Amino acid sequence: MTTPSPAPARPALLRVLAGETLKRPPVWFMRQAGRSLPEYRALRAKAPDFISFCLDPAMAAEATLQPMRRFPFDAAIVFADILLIPRALGQDVWFETGEGPKLGPLPDIGRLADNVEASVERLSPVGETLSRVRAALEPERALIGFAGGPWTVATYMIEGGSSDRSRARTFAYEHADRLDALIEVLVEATTRYLVMQAGAGAQALKLFESWAEGLSEDLFERLVARPHAEIVRRLRLARVTAPVIGFPRGAGGLVETYAGTVDVQAVALDVQAPAALGRRIQAGKAIQGALDPLLLRAGGAALDRRVDQLLEQWGQAPYIFNLGHGVLPDTPIAHIEQTLARVVRD
Amino acid sequence: MTTPSPAPARPALLRVLAGETLKRPPVWFMRQAGRSLPEYRALRAKAPDFISFCLDPAMAAEATLQPMRRFPFDAAIVFADILLIPRALGQDVWFETGEGPKLGPLPDIGRLADNVEASVERLSPVGETLSRVRAALEPERALIGFAGGPWTVATYMIEGGSSDRSRARTFAYEHADRLDALIEVLVEATTRYLVMQAGAGAQALKLFESWAEGLSEDLFERLVARPHAEIVRRLRLARVTAPVIGFPRGAGGLVETYAGTVDVQAVALDVQAPAALGRRIQAGKAIQGALDPLLLRAGGAALDRRVDQLLEQWGQAPYIFNLGHGVLPDTPIAHIEQTLARVVRD
């Protein structure tokens, strides 16, 4: 055909983040890139270690794009890791296969603070990844940048790896001033990292607070809600207009307070989120979530029923279809296809 | 003095469970008996294993009473374990020091169902413990019996021990009928166990649903709320009038639905519970909770501040002061004393 094509539509994800309700919600999955895909496993095998992989823009861009070729996702999310920040701030971080992340001793907070400016330079490969992905991605599909929430990152920095966070929570009680100083360093480093990502092509930004669970209301306010609000405030001061998705995973009843006090444009909900709670949040902003990754892996008619239920309970207001946590590595690809066929049936 | 003493006051715990607001709330702590007390550790060393200890009425009664001698708690809770039920139903259960509980393969559900009637007889030592404690305890201090919630007990039965519950949740999706049958067996066995406990002297009953966390709303309704409602219904049919405290730990925003749909007389809240959510529940029934056990262990001025905050935020309506989870084994006794001195200052 020789007629000029119309201007590309604004990505559905961005429309919902601006408050629109779409006839069918945009969809993407946390960890849509990664170990559930055979092409990812083949690519990953070419890098000596996980951090080198994340910081190689060619490989990270390819990993970001792999699920976009296979599935009709409405958004890509840059392939990276929340622990790139502590590494860029000067703490040792490495990954042991099958054991998850390991971190060296927590450096002096003053020394971490001195490294904030340099940390953004060390994270510049993530910017290069974003530029490459944005250039390769169709204009109607959005590109998401992200960082870990300061508290979640701090738990890894304090505990030296994955944990039940009891040492970090005890630290919050026994060394309140030191923890508050660490959170402030992370708020500033995270803001600068996200400013860089927005400049490199990220059209939306997500804060993954993976370990918001189990915090009392006063700790949640101090360690999660206030730092998130501060990051958003500093992003806007830096003239970053990209919408922000906040994900206080496990915040339970506190997610509503979060939605009401933190100026994010969407709240990502975890598996547990009640339908009514989601609808109350939708009165003010978009929500995202919250299919159980275990159900995605299990498949079957129960999966279809739950997908339909989520579309029905939240689809009448600004809604982004997603999981309540990341895709599990042993999830059959056929179940991802089954789910997407049900969401994207226009 | 030679004047006759007045009739003993009704235990404060029971008054609050009947809907009264007391000037100072009754107080007890989950795991107030146990490893945090040196006298418990000395007693426990006399039994060959943990299950024998729980099923020895003399030792279990002594363990129940130890904290009552030391501290001004308003209630004792019978020393027992939620895994006595699967054992009584015919599944192997044992405890390995430092590793927690271990369970043998899940028996055929039909065989478990056949054992429901016999299971109560096998649990009769717990009744004997209750009788001994009730006889020894001052009349103004209440005695609480308990059982695990059916879903929590089922997770141990399916997973063979402590876990992240992902196998049990997957089982809920892939073998829905078998799980529903297992839950029904546990509902009936739990009801009969609690009826026996009430007959033996328990004046209030608590359902510990320790692993309510991470369930989607539909699974929570099916595996937690409905079974709890059914246990309470069957208790009342069996003419048990003892009030029931439900503890759906980690239920997050779903705890409000639970409070509205399950006819328990109090809802125990976990560490995360927002003040406002607790107050909404108090409009209909008592609440209990929710001091962070990590803060109790940490101590200091932060502990005092939080105790005052809890008393202030919830003390104007039916409230039982407690932790949001059990006392940690390495909690200093001085911190328990510090907390109780603040709650009980009349």
- Please check whether residue A296 is in contact with residue A36, taking contact to mean a CB–CB distance below 8 angstroms: no
Residue of A nearest to B256 (CA): A253
B77: Cα separation from own chain's centroid:
8
DSSP A76: E
> Which site among B179, B220, B222, B294 would you substitute to test the A interface, given the most A Cβ atoms closer than 10 Å to its Cβ?
B294
pLDDT at B4: 59
Nearest of B80, B90, B95 to residue B128 by alpha carbon: B80
The reply to whether residue B217 touches residue A252, judged by beta carbons under 8 angstroms, is no
pLDDT at B327: 98
The reply to whether residue B217 touches residue A254, judged by beta carbons under 8 angstroms, is no
Residue of A nearest to B257 (CA): A274
Neighbours of A162 (CB within 10 A): 13
Is residue A329 less than 8 Å (CB to CB) from chain B? no
Identity of residue A250: G
pLDDT at A329: 96
Is residue B277 less than 8 Å (CB to CB) from chain A? yes
Residues of chain A with Cβ-Cβ distance to B254 below 8 Å are 272, 274
The reply to whether residue B306 touches residue A218, judged by beta carbons under 8 angstroms, is yes
List Cβ neighbours of B184 (8 Å cut-off, separation of 6 or more): none
Q: What is the pLDDT of residues A297-311, one digit of tens each?
A: 999 999 999 999 999
The reply to whether residue B272 touches residue A302, judged by beta carbons under 8 angstroms, is no
Q: What is the residue-averaged pLDDT of chain A?
A: 96
B284 part of a folded domain: yes
Chain A 139-168, CB below 8 Å of chain B: which residues?
Answer: 166
Cα distance between residue B85 and residue B4, in whole Å: 45
The reply to whether residue B252 touches residue A271, judged by beta carbons under 8 angstroms, is no
Assess whether A122 carries a catalytic annotation.
Answer: no
B240 part of a folded domain: yes
- Please check whether residue B342 is in contact with residue B302, taking contact to mean a CB–CB distance below 8 angstroms: no
List Cβ neighbours of B47 (8 Å cut-off, separation of 6 or more): B53, B56, B59
Assess whether A319 carries a catalytic annotation.
Answer: no
| 3-state SS class at B110 | helix
pLDDT at B97: 79
pLDDT at B96: 85
pTM of the model: 0.95
B7 part of a folded domain: no
B4 part of a folded domain: no
Nearest to B169 among A250, A253, A294 (CB): A294
Dihedral sign from CA coordinates of B65, B69, B70, B76: positive
Q: In this model, does residue A135 exceed pLDDT 90?
A: yes
Active site residues of B: 31, 35, 44, 81, 156
Confidence of residue A97 (pLDDT cuts 50, 70, 90): confident
Structure tokens given for B84 = 């006595």
Residue of B nearest to A251 (CA): B252
pLDDT at A114: 98
Confidence of residue A96 (pLDDT cuts 50, 70, 90): confident
A251 part of a folded domain: yes
Q: What is the pLDDT of residues A7-30, one digit of tens each?
A: 667 999 999 999 999 999 999 999
- Please check whether residue B235 is in contact with residue B205, taking contact to mean a CB–CB distance below 8 angstroms: yes
Query: By residue range, what is the domain housing residue B265?
Result: 12-343
Q: Name the residue with higher pLDDT: B6 or A181.
A: A181
Chain B 202-221, CB below 8 Å of chain A: which residues?
Answer: 213-220
pLDDT at A9: 79
Residue of A nearest to B302 (CA): A173
The reply to whether residue A272 touches residue B220, judged by beta carbons under 8 angstroms, is yes
Chain B 30-69, CB below 8 Å of chain A: which residues?
Answer: none
Is residue A257 less than 8 Å (CB to CB) from chain B? yes
Q: What is the pLDDT of residues A62-72, one digit of tens each?
A: 999 999 999 99
Q: CATH number for the domain including A51?
A: 3.20.20.210
pLDDT at B5: 60
Structure tokens given for A188 = 């500033």
pLDDT at A8: 65
B5 part of a folded domain: no
pLDDT at B1: 46
pLDDT at A215: 96
Nearest to B252 among A173, A257, A272 (CB): A272
Is residue A174 less than 8 Å (CB to CB) from chain B? yes
Cα distance between residue B130 and residue B11, in whole Å: 17
Q: What is the pLDDT of residues A200-243, one digit of tens each?
A: 999 999 999 999 999 999 999 999 999 999 999 999 999 999 99
Structurally, how many domains does chain B consist of? 1
Residues of chain B with Cβ-Cβ distance to A256 below 8 Å are 253
pLDDT at A346: 60
Question: Mean pLDDT over residues A172-190, rounded?
Answer: 97
CB-hemisphere CA count at 13 Å for B172? 24
- Please check whether residue B126 is in contact with residue B69, taking contact to mean a CB–CB distance below 8 angstroms: no
Residue of B nearest to A257 (CA): B274
Neighbours of B110 (CB within 10 A): 9
CB pairs under 8 A between A and B: 111
> Distance (Å) from the C-alpha of residue B171 to the closest C-alpha of chain A?
9
List Cβ neighbours of B45 (8 Å cut-off, separation of 6 or more): none
Q: In this model, does residue A1 exceed pLDDT 50?
A: no
Backbone angles phi, psi at B322, to 5 degrees: -165, 180
A6 part of a folded domain: no
Is residue A275 less than 8 Å (CB to CB) from chain B? yes
Q: What is the pLDDT of residues A259-304, one digit of tens each?
A: 999 999 999 999 999 999 999 999 999 999 999 999 999 999 999 9
Residues of chain B with Cβ-Cβ distance to A290 below 8 Å are 216
Give the number of residues written for chain A.
346
Cα distance between residue B110 and residue B126, in whole Å: 25
Neighbours of A278 (CB within 10 A): 25
> Distance (Å) from the C-alpha of residue A297 to the closest C-alpha of chain B?
9
DSSP A317: S
Is residue A26 less than 8 Å (CB to CB) from chain B? no
B296 part of a folded domain: yes
Cα distance between residue B291 and residue B36, in whole Å: 17
- Across the 346 residues of chain B, what is the mean pLDDT of every consecutive 10-residue run? 64 98 97 97 96 98 98 98 98 89 96 98 98 98 98 96 89 96 98 98 98 95 98 98 98 96 98 97 97 98 98 98 97 98 88
Residue of B nearest to A171 (CA): B298
Query: A31-57 burial string, b = 16+ CB within 10 Å, else e?
Result: bbbbebbeebeebeeebeebbebbbbb
Q: In this model, does residue A177 exceed pLDDT 60?
A: yes
Nearest of B301, B344, B318, B299 to residue B21 by alpha carbon: B318
